[in-house]
C-alpha cells in the first residue's frame, strides 16, 4: 500500500464518529510522527492528547501514529496538505521543500545552545516563520524540538572532519544538510527516516546523524558502533495541522488546539533534556564507542561552504537576525 493510501485509509477511520450511547460526537484525529512510541515526540503527542481531551470535554481523541506508520515526514506533510492526515510533529528536514524561508534553521552551527534556539523559536523570528508556514497550505501550531544532531557510523570513530571522507551518511531530505556533508567530504545520502534502520543494518549506508533522543529511541546501537558528539546542527521540530481540520474549527476550538500544542512542546522539551542527561551513558552501556572531545572549529570550517551556497540562493536577512540573537 502506498503511503498516500495508507494515510487515506487511516484518516477515513478517523473522521467524526458518533459515540453510541452518548450525546457527544467524538472526533478521532491522526497525529503522525516518525520516531518511536515513548520517544520525545511521542511524549509531546501524549501531552497534546490529554490537554485536548480535557479542554474539549472528550470531543477530540488523538490517535498517535508513531514510527512512520503513515509514512516519512515529507509524506505526512503532503498528507496534511491534501487532508488525509490531521496533525504531525516533524523535524524541519523536509519543511524547506514546502516553505523555503524555513531552510535558514537548518544551517549548521547556527544556534549555540538549547536556550538560544528556544528563545529564537519562541520569539518574533519563530512567529514570522510560523506565519510563512501558514501561507503555504499548512498550519503551524508551535515550534517544538528534536535536538542537537550528532554523527553515528559503523566504520570507524570520527575524530576529525577528514574521517568523514567518502562515508555514506544518511541525511534528511534537506538541501542545506546535504550541502554541508558534501562540503565536509562525506557522501550524503538523503532518505526518509523509516527506511534508515534497515539501510544501516544492510550496510547500504555507513552512518546517519540525529539527536540523542532519536539515536536512543531508535536503538541505533544495534546497527552502529560509533558516535561522535559533533552537535553540528540544532534540529527544530514543528507541530503542524492540516488546513482542512483547522478551517473547520471554531475560535474556541482553535484555542484548545493552541493550548494542547503548548503542553506538547513542554513535554517534548522535557524528554529531550532527560535524554540529553542520560542518553550517552545508555548508548555506551549498549556498546557504542563515543568520541566526546571534538574539535568543533574544524567541523565548523569544514561545513562552512553550506553558508555561501545558502546566502547566494536565499540572502542573509533572516540569518543575520538569528545570529544577532545569540
Ligand atoms: O532524521 C530525521 O529524519 C529526523 O530527525 C527524525 C528522526 C524523523 C525526527 O524528526
**Ligand 1 pocket check: which of 146, 169, 216 to mutate, most ligand atoms within 8 Å of Cβ?**
146
Measured from the CA of 208, which atom of ligand 1 is nearest? 1
Measured from the CA of 73, which atom of ligand 1 is nearest? 8
- To the nearest 10 degrees (0 to 180), the angle between helices 317-324 and 305-314 is 130
**pLDDT(298) > 80:** yes
Q: Tell me which H or E stretch contains 317.
A: helix 317-324
Determine whether the shortest distance from the Cβ of 217 to ligand 1 is under 6 A: no
Determine whether the shortest distance from the Cβ of 30 to ligand 1 is under 6 A: no
**pLDDT(7) > 70:** no
Q: What is the average pLDDT across 227-253?
A: 98
Q: Whose CA is nearest to atom 3 of ligand 1?
A: 193
Q: What is the average pLDDT across 7-27?
A: 49
What pTM did the predictor assign?
A: 0.94
User: What pLDDT is attached to residue 19?
Assistant: 41
**Tell me: the pLDDT tens digits for 56-79?**
999 999 999 999 999 999 999 999
Q: What is the average pLDDT across 219-224?
A: 98
Nine-digit cell string for 1: 500500500
- Are the C-beta atoms of 291 and 158 separated by less than 8 Å? yes
**pLDDT(2) > 70:** no
Closest CA relative to residue 135, chosen from 99, 189, 167: 99
Determine whether the shortest distance from the Cβ of 196 to ligand 1 is under 6 A: no
Measured from the CA of 193, which atom of ligand 1 is nearest? 3
- To the nearest 10 degrees (0 to 180), the angle between helices 175-183 and 305-314 is 140
Determine whether the shortest distance from the Cβ of 91 to ligand 1 is under 6 A: yes
**pLDDT(3) > 60:** no
**pLDDT(244) > 80:** yes
Determine whether the shortest distance from the Cβ of 35 to ligand 1 is under 6 A: yes
**pLDDT(12) > 60:** no
Determine whether the shortest distance from the Cβ of 75 to ligand 1 is under 6 A: no
Q: What is the average pLDDT across 16-41?
A: 77
Rounded Cα distance between 270 and 265, Å, is 8
Distance 5 CA to ligand 1 centre (A): 22
**Tell me: the pLDDT tens digits for 129-176?**
999 999 999 999 999 999 999 999 999 999 999 999 999 999 999 999
pLDDT band at residue 22, thresholds of 50, 70 and 90? very low
Distance 152 CA to ligand 1 centre (A): 14
Q: What is the average pLDDT across 2-16?
A: 43
Q: Positive or negative CA dihedral for 221, 224, 230, 231?
A: negative
Q: Tell me which H or E stretch contains 232.
A: strand 226-241
Q: Whose CA is nearest to atom 10 of ligand 1?
A: 91
**pLDDT(46) > 90:** yes
Distance 214 CA to ligand 1 centre (A): 7
Q: Whose CA is nearest to atom 9 of ligand 1?
A: 91
| ipTM (interface pTM) | 0.99
How many Å is the maximal CA-CA distance in the chain?
A: 66
Q: In the beta sheet, which residues pair with residue 187?
A: 168
Determine whether the shortest distance from the Cβ of 235 to ligand 1 is under 6 A: yes
Nine-digit cell string for 204: 547500504
Distance 174 CA to ligand 1 centre (A): 11
Closest CA relative to residue 3, chosen from 178, 192, 278: 192
> In the chain, how many H helices and how many E strands?
13, 10
Query: Mean pLDDT of all residues in the chain?
Result: 94
Cα pseudo-dihedral 272, 28, 65, 106, rounded to 10: -50
User: What pLDDT is attached to residue 326?
Assistant: 80
Measured from the CA of 237, which atom of ligand 1 is nearest? 10
Measured from the CA of 209, which atom of ligand 1 is nearest? 1
**pLDDT(321) > 50:** yes
User: CA dist 113 to 265, 319, 326, Å?
Assistant: 17, 16, 9
Cα pseudo-dihedral 274, 169, 192, 307, rounded to 10: 80
Measured from the CA of 68, which atom of ligand 1 is nearest? 8
**3-state secondary structure (DSSP) of residue 58:** coil
Closest CA relative to residue 76, chosen from 25, 163, 14, 11: 11
**Residues 88, 94, 99, CA angle at the centre, nearest 5°?**
90
Amino acid at each position: 500500500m502506498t503511503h498516500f493510501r495508507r494515510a487515506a485509509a487511516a484518516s477515513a477511520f478517523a473522521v467524526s464518529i458518533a459515540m453510541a450511547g452518548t450525546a457527544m460526537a467524538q472526533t478521532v484525529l491522526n497525529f503522525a510522527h516518525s520516531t518511536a512510541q515513548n520517544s520525545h515526540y511521542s511524549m509531546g503527542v501524549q501531552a497534546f492528547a490529554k490537554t485536548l481531551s480535557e479542554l474539549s470535554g472528550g470531543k477530540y481523541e488523538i490517535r498517535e501514529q508513531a514510527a512512520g506508520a503513515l509514512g516519512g515526514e515529507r509524506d505526512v506533510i503532503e498528507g496534511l496538505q491534501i487532508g488525509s492526515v490531521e496533525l504531525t510533529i516533524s523535524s524541519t528536514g523536509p519543511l524547506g521543500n514546502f516553505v523555503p524561508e524555513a531552510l535558514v534553521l537548518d544551517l549548521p552551527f547556527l544556534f549555540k545552545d538549547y536556550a538560544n534556539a528556544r528563545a529564537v523559536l519562541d520569539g518574533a523570528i519563530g512567529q514570522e516563520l510560523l506565519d510563512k508556514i501558514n501561507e503555504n497550505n499548512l498550519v503551524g501550531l508551535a515550534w517544538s524540538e528534536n535536538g542537537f544532531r550528532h554523527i553515528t557510523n559503523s566504520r570507524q570513530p570520527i575524530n576529525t572532519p577528514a574521517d568523514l571522507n567518502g562515508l555514506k551518511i544518511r541525511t534528511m531530505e534537506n538541501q542545506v544538510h546535504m550541502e554541508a556533508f558534501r562540503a565536509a567530504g562525506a557522501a550524503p545520502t538523503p532518505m526518509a527516516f523509516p527506511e534508515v534502520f534497515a539501510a544501516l543494518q544492510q550496510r547500504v549506508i555507513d552512518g546517519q546523524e540525529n539527536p540523542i533522543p532519536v539515536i536512543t529511541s531508535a536503538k541505533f546501537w544495534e546497527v552502529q558502533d560509533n558516535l561522535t558528539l559533533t552537535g553540528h546542527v540544532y534540529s527544530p521540530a514543528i507541530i503542524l495541522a492540516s488546513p482542512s481540520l483547522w478551517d473547520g474549527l471554531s475560535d474556541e476550538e482553535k484555542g484548545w488546539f493552541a493550548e494542547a500544542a503548548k503542553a506538547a512542546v513542554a513535554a517534548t522539551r522535557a524528554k529531550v533534556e532527560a535524554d540529553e542527561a542520560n542518553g550517552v551513558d545508555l548508548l555506551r552501556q549498549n556498546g557504542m564507542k563515543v568520541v566526546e572531545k571534538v574539535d568543533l572549529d574544524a567541523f565548523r570550517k569544514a561545513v562552512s561552504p553550506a553558508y555561501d551556497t545558502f546566502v547566494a540562493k536565499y540572502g542573509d536577512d533572516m540569518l543575520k537576525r538569528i545570529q544577532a540573537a545569540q
